[in-house]
Amino acid sequence: MGERTRARTAAALGTWTEPAEVYARGRALRSTVDFDDHRAMSLAPDRPSVLEFMHASNVGRLDELIPLRVGRMLASPFAFFRGSAGLMAGDLAAGVSTGLTAQLCGDAHAANFGLYGTPDGQIVMDINDFDETLPGPWEWDLKRLVASLVLAGRTGGVSDKGCRDAAEDAVRAYRTGVRHLAEIPFLDSWSALADESVLSQVKADDLVNDFAKAAEKSRRNTSARFATKWTAHDGERWRFITNPPTLTAVPDATADAVVSALPSYVDTLRESRRNLIMRYGVSDVAARVVGTGSVGLRNYLILLHGNGQEALVLQAKEARRSALAPFLDVPPVKHEGKRIVHGARLVQVETDILLGWTTIEGRPFIVRQFRNRKGEIDTTTLKRDDLDDYGRLAGSLLARAHNRSVDPRLLAGYFDGKDGEEVDEAFTRYAFAYADRTEADHAELAELVKTGKLPALIEED
């Protein structure tokens, strides 16, 4: 290999840097943003009222589902928090930033960490929602996580001391996770999966039973099982059994548009996976309501049939502009579905093999497997010790997620050299302040519903 060729190759790969130099660059960031600076909760100077926020965030949603969205956000301050990522993004933008950019989940609250199945059948846990993903300050994800732990704990009746422990331990697990990832080979840190063994690694022993129960349930949570319950043969083909307002039929024109968009979706898959999906045939299309923040967006289920009685259900979910985009210096994207898919692929160690994107009736969508052995641990039902363990688990998972887009040695350097408890306490102080702010916002929402300024549909248990 000639000298010129070696130079070009080195430039393409980047120049190798001594680890100590990378750590030092991270430590230098504290001269701009010290640990104590993370304590303060800032609110956007032009922060909208709750009514203004709800009206703005409802634009473009299906009118008939807006009362359902309001009703779900009304359930608790934690539920309101889940549906108001954009409101918090404006507040975070008014606060401090170290200047280190990671590929953010964008909505890293406690309920967006869940279990799912890998292609080889393992049950792992990771961030599982990327609707808001964008490059941004790593602090945003961590602050959203710790505030959500406080809100989830309060919803479940955990004491403030228990909520504080959970939040502090989440930050501590994030720090220690970053430090561990900074010390191991790049390939090992990049491909580290979070299976059941991670519980012992983060000393989340009280969560073992919760994880085991959720994992067992997730193994049964498949397209085939859903199809067994919610589809029937009408004499000609298999169709969905509707269950309004959650699962409803769609007009023929809409079904045709969804089916017509599938070839462009297939083109976004890796070649071997295109061969797989092309073996299936489409049987039916229906609309389904999902989530809290996503209520009112267009969301379709696509029933496919494969080998004999084999059923596979795909989900086509409308992709909107990230709620974080107005507050980050990022260029507009050409396709919001592609943004979400690329974000998920960058953050998750294992992504759905059928994850892709398409355009339906002029709107961007992501397409993925529906109920790909997905499961969850409901943080609002966890007792004090379990919530504390969940905080450690989520903090560790978030560190792994950020490791894939920002050099962990930079973050480890930022955390290094001072008593780590200072940063744990600073983020926790922020979490409590923002939880209080969210409870006030939720109370404002309740008053708007009570006075008839916002319609709300309350679902029966």
pLDDT of residue 200: 47
Cα distance between residue 2 and residue 260, in whole Å: 52
Q: Summarize pLDDT for 337-357 with one digit per residue, the tens.
A: 999 999 999 998 888 899 999
Strands 311-318 and 363-369: antiparallel
Encoding tokens for residue 2? Answer: 């000639």
Encoding tokens for residue 172? Answer: 């501590």
Using 50 as the pLDDT threshold, list the residues of the chain that sit under it: 6-11, 196-200
Cα distance between residue 213 and residue 387, in whole Å: 16
Cα distance between residue 294 and residue 361, in whole Å: 19
Strands 311-318 and 299-305: antiparallel
Cα distance between residue 241 and residue 2, in whole Å: 67
| Residue pair 266/247 in contact by the 8 Å Cβ criterion | no
Q: Give 368's strand partners.
A: 315
Question: Could you give phi then psi for residue 211, rounded to 5 degrees?
Answer: -65, -45
pTM of the complete model beyond 0.85: yes
The residue whose two tokens read 């945003």 is 140
Is it true that the peptide bond before 245 is cis, omega within 30 degrees of 0? yes
CB burial string 144-158: b at 16+ within 10 A, e below: bbbbbbbbbbbbbeb
pLDDT of residue 374: 72
pLDDT of residue 279: 94
Cα distance between residue 313 and residue 69, in whole Å: 24
| Residue pair 458/171 in contact by the 8 Å Cβ criterion | no
- Among 183, 94, 175, residue whose Cα is nearest residue 140: 94
Q: In three state form, how does the secondary structure of the chain look?
A: CCHHHHHHHHHHHCCCCCHHHHHHHHHHHHHCCCHHHHCCCCCCCCCCCHHHHHHHHHCCCCHHHHHHHHHHHHCCHHHHHHCCHHHHHHHHHCCCCCCCEEEECCCCCHHHEEEEECCCCCEEEEECCCCCCEEEEHHHHHHHHHHHHHHHHHHCCCCHHHHHHHHHHHHHHHHHHHHHHHHCCHHHHHCCCCCCCHHHHCCCHHHHHHHHHHHHHHHHCCHHHHHHHHEEECCCCEEECCECCCEEECCHHHHHHHHHCHHHHHCCCCHHHHHHHCCCEEEEEEEECCCCCCCCCCEEEEEEECCCCCEEEEEEEECCCCCCHHHCCCCCCCCHHHHHHHHHHHHCCCCCCCCEEEEECCEEEEEEECCCCCECCCHHHCCHHHHHHHHHHHHHHHHHHHHCCCCHHHHHHHHCCCCHHHHHHHHHHHHHHHHHHHHHHHHHHHHHHHCCCCCCCCCCC
Q: Give 256's strand partners.
A: none
Q: What does the chain come to in residues?
A: 461
Q: Summarize pLDDT for 17-66 with one digit per residue, the tens.
A: 899 999 999 999 999 999 999 999 999 999 999 999 999 999 999 999 99
- Cα of first residue to Cα of last residue in the chain, in angstroms, is 69
C-alpha of 158 from chain center: 24
| Residue pair 381/162 in contact by the 8 Å Cβ criterion | no
pLDDT of residue 7: 46
Q: Which residues contact 376 (CB under 8 A, 6 or more apart)?
A: 111, 114, 115, 214
pLDDT of residue 215: 65
Encoding tokens for residue 311? Answer: 């059923």
Residue type, 285: V
pLDDT of residue 223: 81
